[in-house]
Amino acid sequence: MTDQNSCRGSVYVVKEKDTLYQIAVNYGIRVKDIMRHNPFVNVYDLQVGDELCIPGYTPVISGAVVPYVVKEGDTIVEIAKTNKTTVENLAKTNKKIRKLTLPVGTVLLIDKAN
């Protein structure tokens, strides 16, 4: 059992048919990071009810936003796709993108609730 006080992130309870790879993809982290933060869980034989510490992950609160700094070569479509949102949702939160060109270093707010 994972101690919720020692987990720097969220505790995930394994469900039927879960795989470590699927959990990692869903949370956007690497399998080896889950393995490193869960030394007492047999990650090779996950059981329903096993508790995993998902490092660095905190549940999204409705209306919460996360900053994203535009990098060289970024496009609005790629930024939306990478952050699992849509161009329309980006436009609602960031009036800057209506210009369709984003200088490197522009900070966009990603609404994780959408």
Angle 106-107-112 from CA coordinates, rounded to 5°: 140
Does this model's pTM top 0.85? My answer is no
- Output the pLDDT for position 105: 76
For each of the domains in the chain, give its residue range(s) and CATH number, in order of start.
9-55 (3.10.350.10), 65-111 (3.10.350.10)
Residue with tokens 């952050």: 83
Retrieve residue 48's tokens.
Answer: 């329903």
Task: Give the other-Cβ count within 10 Å of 3's Cβ.
Answer: 10
* Predicted confidence pLDDT, tens digits, the chain (114 residues): 444 457 878 888 999 989 999 888 888 888 999 999 998 888 888 999 999 998 876 555 545 667 778 888 888 888 888 888 888 888 877 777 765 667 777 777 777 665
